[in-house]
Amino acid sequence: MIIVNRRVANLAALVVLAIGLCSCGDSEADQRKAFIKFLQEINNRSGVHFLIPKPEEEKAFGDYARHYAIITDFSNDLRVTSGDFAERLKKLGFGPAGQRTIEQMAAHRQDILVAKDELDKIQQAIETRLAKLNSERSALKQPDDLKAVYNTTFDKLVTAPTQAIEDSNKALAEGIRVSIQLVDYINGHSGTVAVSGSQIRARDAQTLAEVNALLKAHQEAAKRFQDAQRNGERALQGG
């Protein structure tokens, strides 16, 4: 007859259970290693490139898959918000498909005010969504080796695109401001200013000097907006 001490038996059972649990999935170190390798592949690419992990890769990441998901969720939300904003501007007659002439802008001043309101809304939406992302990021538990790689990925996929959009929006806001000044001057001097398309004529030298100064500011603001867009595109493409 074999007699087994109950305490020894219980200890043996715990050891077996522990071994079974360890064999059910990768260790945290293995998950972290797999996730770091995936992030480094993103970081080694020029420009902004979102890689979609394969199902087996995502499984290998364990809970770290969620760390990547908060980045992709933010990017998807930002893309939808920016797309909706561009579509609303297009309906107002603003955008690369067909810029309005100064004459059209002066005749439809209210549309410029609506564009300003839309710009304010999207900027607020971006700031709110970014605050949510930063809150989610601050709650992540990451060892130092992962944090260093993750920060690089975050800057590439979140910080750079968001900054590019904000720079473009800032330039657009300035463009809208000077456009309102220009059309208000034109509409307020209808007796001395004539507009045809984007050509402006004035009946006296003082009016001509004043409207030309406003027109110059309008043109310079438009150039700054175009430059901001080009700079953003180069940054996103890794140029």
* 9 is a domain residue: no
Q: What is the pLDDT of residue 74?
A: 97
Q: 9 vs 228, which has greater pLDDT?
A: 228
* 10 is a domain residue: no
Residue 89: pLDDT over 60: yes
Q: What is the pLDDT of residues 108-154, one digit of tens each?
A: 999 999 999 999 999 999 999 999 999 999 999 999 999 999 999 99
Mean pLDDT in residue range 214-225: 94
Share of the chain above pLDDT 90, in %: 77
Residue 23: pLDDT over 50: no
User: In which element (H, E) is residue 170 found?
Assistant: helix 160-188
Residue 174: pLDDT over 80: yes
* 131 is a domain residue: yes
* 124 is a domain residue: yes
Question: Which residue segment(s) compose the domain that 126 sits in?
Answer: 26-237
* 19 is a domain residue: no
CATH code, 61 = 1.20.120
The mean predicted confidence, pLDDT, of the chain is 87
Q: What is the pLDDT of residue 219?
A: 93
Q: Positive or negative CA dihedral for 57, 59, 64, 66?
A: positive
C-alpha distances out from residue 11 to 22, 41, 216, Å = 17, 44, 84
How many CB atoms are located within 10 Å of the residue 64 CB? 23
DSSP reduced 3-state for 200: strand
* 5 is a domain residue: no
Report the DSSP beta bridge partners of residue 200: 195
Q: How many domains does the chain have?
A: 1
* 3 is a domain residue: no
* 75 is a domain residue: yes
For the entire predicted model, the pTM comes to 0.82
Residue 68: pLDDT over 60: yes
Q: Which residues of 182-193 are buried (b: 16+ CB within 10 A; e: fewer)?
A: bbebbeeeeeeb
